[in-house]
Amino acid sequence: MSELTINISRLSEGTHLYDFETEPKNLELDARFVDRVFVHAALEKTGRQIFLRVEFRTKSRFTCDRCLDEFENVLSTHYEVVYITEESGARSNSEEEVQYISPDATMIDLGEDVRQFLILAVPLKLLCKDDCQGLCPKCGANRNKVNCSCAENDADPRWEVLKKVSLN
């Protein structure tokens, strides 16, 4: 069990709020995650179901895909799940956000879900800023820091033949 565990054994009906902090290594996150993970959970218990909304954030350090500089980024995301007490034979797989728990369950561990959602929150294209100029393909200079004098429009000579092709 992780540090992100909620005891539901004697939970009264109504809304309950929880705040957690943990180190990225405790969630088995890699070195890109450089700051504590802050988690806020709002749990609403009604009858035989528990609605849980979890929000979390942490700082991460990445290498820009365009200029190769390191930069820090705040990752924040959330998820929602409904836990329903599993009755004998009453199980439906129609909704993905529903999880079934045993009637005698005493804890809900958020650790694995938080870990997975943080990994999914990492952008596919890692950019230090939206308008990152990247590296010059000729001299390798970081265009965010230096204005190089390399020609911009030098096309590969193998493509020159295509300029003569008419689309008519």
Q: Average pLDDT for residues 3-19, to the nearest whole number?
A: 92
Query: How far apart are alpha carbons 27 and 109 in whole angstroms?
Result: 12
Are the C-beta atoms of 18 and 38 separated by less than 8 Å? no
CB-based contacts of 139: which residues, under 8 Å, 6+ apart? Answer: 148, 150
Residue 134 backbone class (left: φ over 0; alpha: ψ -120 to 50; beta: rest): left
Query: Which has more confidence, 148 or 119?
Result: 119
pLDDT tens digits for 54-95?
999 999 999 999 999 999 999 999 999 999 987 633 445 444
Residue 164 has pLDDT above 80, yes or no: no
Query: How far apart are alpha carbons 163 and 166 in whole angstroms?
Result: 8
If we measure between CA atoms, which residue out of 42, 109, 124, 50 comes closest to residue 78? 42
Kindly tell me the burial class for residue 25, based on how many C-beta atoms sit within 10 Å of its own C-beta (0-12, 13-18, 19 or more).
exposed
Residue 151 has pLDDT above 80, yes or no: no
Kindly tell me the burial class for residue 86, based on how many C-beta atoms sit within 10 Å of its own C-beta (0-12, 13-18, 19 or more).
middle
Query: Which has more confidence, 3 or 71?
Result: 71
Q: What is the DSSP string of 60-111?
A: EEEE-TTT--EEEEEEEEEEEEEEEE-BTTB---S-TTEEEE-TT--EEE-H
Write down the pLDDT at residue 159. 78
Residue 31 has pLDDT above 80, yes or no: yes
Mean of the per-residue pLDDT values of the chain: 88
Min mean pLDDT across 85-94, 118-127, 141-150, 157-166 is at: 85-94
Write down the pLDDT at residue 63. 96
Q: pTM for the full model?
A: 0.78
